[in-house]
Structure 1
Amino acid sequence: MEDQNPSISTSKLLLWFFSISACVKLLLIPSYHSTDFEVHRHWLALTRSLPLSNWYSDETSPWTLDYPPFFAYFERSLSLLAHLVDPRIVDIYNGLEYKANSVIYFQRISVILSDLFLVYGVYRLTRNLEVKRRDLMWVLIVWSPGLVIVDHIHFQYNGFLLGWLLLSISCLQEGKDLMGGFLFAVLLCFKHLFAVAAPVYFVYLLRHYCWKGLVRGFGRLSLLGAVVVAVFAAAYGPFIYRGQIQQVIHRMFPFGRGLCHAYWAPNFWVFYIILDKVLTFFLRRLGFSIQIPAASFTGGLVGDSSPFAVLPRVTPATTFIMVLLALSPCLIKAWRNPRPGLIARWISYAYTCGFLFGWHVHEKAALHFVIPLAIVAVQSLEDAKHYFMLSIVSCYSLFPLLYEAQEYPIKVLLLVLHSILMWLGFSALFNEESATTAANKKKGTQFKTKGSSEKGGFALGWVGKSYLFGLLIVEIWGQFLHPYFLGDKLPFVPLMLISIYCGLGIMYSWIWQLSRILEST
């Protein structure tokens, strides 16, 4: 007997996926957590103990509030529950680094439960997909090892935020442009770093939703503008009313932190830094008097690490222009042919551009393009091969976040298991489609399944295999050979090698995504 309501069974099965991942995350509660754990605990205390007018001016902790107001309201809502669990969690005068079991369990579980928003976003995206593609997308997103490493060990709320993004994408794919724009505006008021995709949203919505003739188009543009203004008014209105908007903006955009983070994200600026150091070395050898700046890129500090010895200094404006230039081909495509089916690809590409060329990029920002690219990965064989490599590279680039010995087997196991699941899932999907295509061709049927290949199913070429094998060599050197041969000398080298090698992979991904966008019709 067939299920009378397949959407109910689909949601139940997805909840099973979530429950399995939640069990794993519960086991990880005692694991290492970064300073971000204390950052969010302080934000709980700040939003609970102080009036709203002091949220963006408080300096009782070095971890000042630097997220947009909706995230502050989110922390405020969590603080109401935290106060019931342990009042000391939300006592701003309790002192820093409060590490009682109550706060550890509360904050860990709050991240796990907030992932239900991610699950709902995945459900909206996959409810109309065929079973194999649906299940595979669940594996790629709900069981993402990168999300586990960043959110549930290192500690953040990316799953919750990415849930808003996936909901917005699902609405755009369904033709609900106004709701998609509304959800994206809400997301920006939770975390402003998602604004890298704003040009794509603007061009797509202007062309697809508003470009409907003079009168009708003006009405739609006015309605869309009113929705966005209403969202931002709800978020920032109380601070504008109190004359504090400049303080809020100053906290949200601390450009004094420098071009690169303490651990270099694997992006374009890694190669710029290396080129500057190589040129400095050779020019000094040739007798040129070159003064090396005091601020070092290898010092491991989050400071104004932007000076260069030879190459021109990079400013925030420079990175902004480079991101826009990298985005421009995508924006042109979105304007000429605003297809809902391509919106996930365009948004993922936008976040890739922001990651590669942006200012003070964190390695964790790779999640912004890896997660939405899972939507694209199940669409064709070539996209699947690209995603398989990119997912492994981006996850491996997060390894330095977990530097304690006890987490080493955990992060390795997470990556290996997910790689196996991806391989099995992509093989099951595309090898069967390839076999179907071959059988139909043999029968003379003029039929070809989307994503299939006449040359065979899911398999990597020798270049992809060689590159992934190189990751193993980089890891063996950094984890075992470097300590054995060099001891404590040149401690930055293993991290530098990870950044450079993963940067090559992500640069390739950016070029590959751009070529796919240019080829699309």
Structure 2
Amino acid sequence: MASTASPATSAAAWAFAAATFVKLLLVPTYRSTDFDVHRYWLALTHALPARQWYTDASSRWTLDYPPFFAYFSRALSLPAPLVDATLVSIPVPDAPPFAHLLYLRLTVTFSDLLLLGSVLLLAGDARRRQRPFLALLLVLWSPALLAVDHVHFQYNGFLMGLLLLSLYFLEQGWDLAGGVVFASLLCSKHLFLVAAPVYFMYLFRHYCCGRGVVKGLGRLMLMGSGVAAVFAAAFAPFVYYGQMQQVFNRLFPFGRGLCHAYWAPNFWVFYIMLDKILAFLLRRLGFNIAIPEASFTGGLVGDSSPFDVLPKVTPITTFLLVILAMAPYLVKAFSNPQPKHIV
């Protein structure tokens, strides 16, 4: 019997299989402190009731992802005792045995199936959209995802799969489903808030506007209700426990400052460099500028006030700069919200 799989689907499946083989080879490689973070979250969500997830301070690896990711960790923890009971016990062992490493590595690889499914959906009618399928194959073989997820240790492939699934729904014209899936993504990792303004502008214009006042308001309420239901499912238990302030402080630790760890600055590394150069030059010119204790070469998250010369950058400043940088995309989404452009 002839295969019904399209060439694109077959190519994606083979690419995913090859990538999975490489991921398995990477199991014993270097791991960062993020491995310890997620190993602790696995135990935390299994051993403690939900009302203690965002208040527990018995470890420095405190839970600082939104509740859906905590539920995800809880789901991953359920079969863990069958492998090793210490995987879900608190306190966790200081030196993880190989069974811990293998189990967590395999959970990342398994969760990448969502990434594969989303790529296959986006590639399903690649000819009609004239999308280069090579781009989708490169998602499955992304060096960044391999390094960050399967060496450093995170779950970004799973989260990227949610994002691509949401984009697929929007591209198909299923705006309500796309909005609900994106809301689920925000309740899993709030880093994706950076895409929220574009989503809001696109959905407001494409789903709600241009359909008459009554129908437009009805659609706005329907979309709002769907998104609100997702956020309620995620956060309602913690509202009930009276812990929303604690949850917010965990998710948005503004008190750490702009550069709480060496990987965090991104664009702001240039601001740091300029500050250090100015401080060096002013000290050479005889100005009395103290050399701070703060370091940008340590991996642990912590509080810091690192700037010697330049002013401290506030959260509202970074927010306004992000919106300004996104302005061309927001204008595009508002003026010409076409499904074929959303990806």
Distance 1:32 1:282 in 2: 39
2-structure distance, mates of 1:142, 1:298: 31
1:201-350 equivalence runs, <5 A? 201-211=199-209, 212-264=211-263, 267-297=266-296, 302-344=301-343
CA shift for structure 1 position 235: 0.5
Q: Distance in 2 between matches of 1:172 and 1:297?
A: 40
Aligned residues with identical type, % of pairs = 60
Deviations 1:331-350 (A, max 9, x none): 12211111222222xxxxxx
Aligned counterparts of 2:280 and 2:174: Cα–Cα separation in 1: 56
Q: Is the 8 A contact 1:297 1:305 kept in 2?
A: no
Quick one: distance in 1 between partners of 2:286 and 2:99? 61
- Gap change, CA 1:151 and 1:4, over 3 Å in 2: closer
Instruction: Check conservation: 1:258, 1:303, Cα contact below 8 A.
Output: no
Tell me how large the CA RMSD over aligned residues is: 2.2
Task: Please list the CA deviations of residues 385-439 of structure 1 after superposition, one character each: whole Å capped at 9, or x if unmatched.
Answer: xxxxxxxxxxxxxxxxxxxxxxxxxxxxxxxxxxxxxxxxxxxxxxxxxxxxxxx
Which has more radius of gyration?
Answer: 1
Paired position in structure 2 for 1:148: 146
Once residues 198 and 131 of structure 2 are traced to their aligned partners in structure 1, the CA distance between those partners, rounded to angstroms, is 26
- The equivalent residue for 2:28 is 30
Whether the aligned pair in 2 keeps the contact of 1:67 and 1:252 (CA below 8 Å) is yes
The residue that corresponds to 1:185 in the other structure is: 183
Residue 127 in structure 1 maps to residue 124 in structure 2: yes
4+ runs of 1 displaced by more than 6 Å?
none
C-alpha change, 1:298 and 1:111, in structure 2 (3 Å) is: closer
Aligned partner letter, 2:214: V
**Structure 1 stretch 238-247 or stretch 150-159: which is displaced more?**
238-247
Q: Which has the higher contact order (CA 8 A, sep 6+)?
A: 2
Measured after TM superposition, the shift of residue 301 of structure 1 is: 5.6
Alignment partners' CA distance in 2, 1:288 and 1:59:
42
Between the aligned partners of 2:51 and 2:202, the Cα distance in structure 1 is 37
* Cα deviation, residue 139, structure 1: 2.6
Structure 1: 5+ residue runs without aligned partners? 345-521
Q: Secondary structure of the equivalent of 1:130?
A: helix
Cα 1:82–1:274 change in 2 (3 A) is: same
Q: Deviations over 1:166-222 (max 9, x none)?
A: 011111111111111011000001101101111111111000100021001000000
Question: In structure 2, what residue type is equivalent to 1:166?
Answer: L
Q: Deviations over 1:324-379 (max 9, x none)?
A: 121122212211111222222xxxxxxxxxxxxxxxxxxxxxxxxxxxxxxxxxxx
Task: Say yes or no: does 1:113 pair with 2:110.
Answer: yes
Distance in 2 between residues matched to 1:298 and 1:103, nearest whole Å: 28
Shift in alpha-carbon separation, 1:101–1:287, aligned structure 2, 3 A = closer
What is aligned with 1:62?
60
Q: Answer 1 or 2: which has greater helix percent.
A: 1
C-alpha distance in structure 2 between counterparts of 1:238 and 1:142, whole Å? 35
Superposed displacement of residue 135, structure 1: 3.9
